[in-house]
């Protein structure tokens, strides 16, 4: 076992895979404020489904706690808390600042604090370091040091797991940068990239998802244009994709904690510096409108089929922000539901991946049901919103069996063979 003692602050989608890997080689303590989360992990259960019970058991040097005082003996603190946005699409740094306060009270001379949370350039040194100094009474880059190594976790992806994704690293001086880089090299099989500064590493992370957001916005807008023309966007993209350098992006909902959030961190900082990031903001606006477009398209198809709108039964398949994972953070499916409810439709929601009881406490007004394909209830329209493996297997007959008259099938993910309409 290696000599450093590591504390991982925050045990969500990012923190738990990291804690498990470090716990195989270092004495590691995973800290979280959620009592239930800690209890479940102690019993080798990860509700995010990112880490199996076997993997949790394999991390022999990993312990869990809800008591920050248990971290006092650690010399490396890795902060992996969420960095969400508020209802005005502005960065919410409260979880990051609160965790910095917790760590600051524990800091000793020569300790290192590494941040993994996605932020705009400057947050680590301009926002977090002053908190660490104030709480500890220590001087940055003299008594303690910082690093930044942005997370690249892809929820639900069992192929590109933590150790198989190249890791960006950085440090507040050359010695610390080397230390941080060596630390991650010890667990990341894919290797590391040592950035020239913390700000460069922060910027690199925030533009990764911004780039994806802009590209998806383009194909979303193209899909809307082609829909007005009566042309299949899928057919168009398939044809265009025959060129070797055509970028393979598909239209769809853009949610989750990364792509739908990270661009706002960059635009916030850009506007603070006096620059208006028009392309990025326009892309965000396009992607945010897609849910409303899909809901209104559904209503239009119902009207064209001479079906009533008020109290009509509509089934939505999938709630999570992506396929084959239980993650509902910033899912845009809820916007479709809310729009349909505004039209006074009766909406049933089915998702085999979610914790039904947990989700029901968050979305109290939603009718979350068990498998509709084992029920006799009929629907006027069915929206396939998420490409879960259970839905990919469905046949036309399955939809017909639960449809009232001819099925109105809305296919957002391109997995239905004969949809009424496809994005």
pLDDT for the residue 16: 96
Cα angle 413, 414, 415 (rounded to 5 degrees) comes to 95
Distance CA 258, CA 119 (A): 11
Looking at 74, 128, 258, 345, which residue is catalytic? 258
The first and second tokens of residue 228, run together, are 């007005």
DSSP string covering 163-213, please? GGS-EEE-BSSHHHHHHHHHHHHTT-TT-EEE-SSHHHHHHHHHHHHHHHH
Do 192 and 246 share a domain, yes or no?
no
CA atoms within a 13 Å half-sphere pointing along the CA-CB vector of 409: 23
Say what the pLDDT of residue 156 is. 79
Whether residue 261 sits in one domain with residue 376 = yes
d(CA 403, CA 410) in angstroms, rounded, equals: 13
pLDDT of residue 2: 67
- pLDDT number for residue 230: 93
H or E element that contains 226: helix 198-229
Using the 3D structure, point to which of 173, 198, 223 is the last residue of a domain: 198
User: Do 266 and 133 share a domain, yes or no?
Assistant: no
Residues 29 and 171 in one domain: yes
- Cα–Cα dist 277/199, whole Å: 19
Q: Are residues 167 and 261 in the same domain?
A: no
- Of all helices (H) and strands (E), which one includes residue 411? strand 409-411
pLDDT for the residue 154: 81
**218: in domain:** no
Within-domain flag for 271: yes
Q: Which residue has the tokens 């010399």?
A: 75
pLDDT value of residue 1 = 57
146 catalytic residue (yes or no): no
Q: What is the pLDDT of residue 103?
A: 98
Q: Residue 42 falls within a domain, yes or no?
A: yes
Read off the tokens for 203.
């910027």
Q: Among positive and negative, which fits the CA dihedral 326, 330, 333, 335?
A: positive
Q: Are residues 288 and 180 in the same domain?
A: no
Residue 224 lies in a domain: no
For residue 298, what are the CA distances in angstroms to 146, 153, 173, 323, 326? 51, 34, 56, 22, 26
For the record, the structure tokens of 96 come out as: 């990051």
For residues 189 and 259, membership in a common domain is answered with: no
d(CA 211, CA 338): 29
Q: Residue 184's domain spans which residues?
A: 2-198
- Is-contact 314 308, C-beta < 8 A? no
Co-location of 174 and 122 in the same domain:
yes
CATH number at residue 114: 3.40.50.720
Per-residue pLDDT 10s for the chain (423 aa) are 568 999 999 999 999 999 999 999 999 999 999 999 999 999 999 998 899 999 999 999 999 999 999 999 999 999 999 999 998 999 999 999 999 999 999 999 999 999 999 999 999 999 999 999 999 999 999 999 999 999 988 887 788 889 999 999 999 999 999 999 999 999 999 999 999 999 999 999 999 999 999 999 999 999 999 999 999 999 999 999 999 999 999 999 998 888 889 999 999 999 999 999 999 999 999 999 999 999 999 999 999 999 989 999 999 999 999 999 999 989 999 999 999 999 999 999 999 999 888 898 889 889 999 999 999 999 999 999 999 999 999 999 999 999 988 889 999 999 999 999 999
The number of distinct structural domains making up the chain is 2
211 within domain boundaries? no
Please name which of 281, 283, 255, 285 lies closest in space to residue 268, comparing C-alpha atoms.
281
219 within domain boundaries: no
Bridge partners, residue 62, by sequence: 28
Tokens standing for 36? 């239930």
């Amino acid at each position: 076992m290696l000599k450093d003692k590591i504390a991982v602050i925050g045990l969500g989608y990012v923190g738990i895979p990291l804690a498990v890997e470090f716990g195989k080689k270092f004495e590691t303590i995973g800290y979280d404020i959620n009592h239930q989360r800690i209890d479940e992990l102690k019993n080798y259960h990860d509700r995010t489904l990112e880490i199996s019970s076997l993997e949790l058991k394999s991390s022999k040097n990993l312990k869990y706690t809800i008591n920050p005082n248990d971290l006092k003996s650690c010399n490396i603190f890795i902060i992996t808390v969420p960095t969400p946005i508020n209802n005005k699409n502005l960065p919410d740094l409260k979880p990051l600042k609160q965790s910095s306060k917790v760590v600051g009270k524990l800091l000793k001379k020569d300790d290192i604090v590494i941040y993994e949370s996605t932020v705009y350039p400057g947050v680590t040194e301009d926002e977090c370091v002053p908190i660490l100094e104030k709480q500890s009474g220590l001087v940055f880059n003299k008594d303690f040091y910082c690093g930044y190594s942005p997370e690249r976790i892809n929820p639900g992806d069992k192929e590109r797991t933590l150790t198989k994704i190249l890791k960006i690293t950085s440090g507040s001086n050359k010695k610390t940068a080397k230390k941080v880089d060596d630390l991650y090299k010890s667990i990341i099989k894919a290797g590391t990239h040592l950035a020239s500064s913390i700000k460069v590493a922060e910027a690199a992370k925030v533009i990764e998802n911004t780039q994806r957001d802009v590209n998806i916005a383009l194909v979303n807008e193209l899909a809307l244009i082609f829909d007005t023309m009566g042309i299949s966007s899928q057919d168009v993209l398939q044809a265009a994709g025959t060129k070797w350098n055509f970028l393979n992006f598909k239209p769809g909902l853009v949610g989750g904690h990364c792509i739908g959030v990270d661009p706002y961190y960059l635009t916030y900082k850009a506007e603070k510096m006096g620059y208006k990031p028009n392309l990025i903001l326009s892309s965000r606006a396009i992607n945010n409108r897609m849910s409303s477009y899909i809901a209104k398209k559904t209503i239009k198809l119902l009207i064209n089929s001479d079906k009533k709108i008020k109290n009509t039964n509509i089934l939505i398949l999938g709630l999570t922000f992506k396929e084959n994972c239980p993650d509902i953070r910033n899912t845009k499916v809820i916007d479709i539901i809310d729009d349909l409810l505004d039209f006074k439709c009766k909406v049933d929601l089915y998702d085999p991946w979610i914790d039904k009881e947990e989700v029901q406490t968050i979305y109290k007004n939603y009718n979350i049901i068990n498998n509709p394909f084992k029920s006799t209830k009929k629907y006027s329209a069915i929206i396939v919103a998420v490409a879960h493996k259970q839905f990919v297997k469905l046949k036309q007959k399955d939809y017909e069996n639960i449809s009232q008259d001819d099925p109105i099938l809305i296919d957002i993910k391109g997995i239905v063979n004969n949809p009424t309409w496809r994005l």
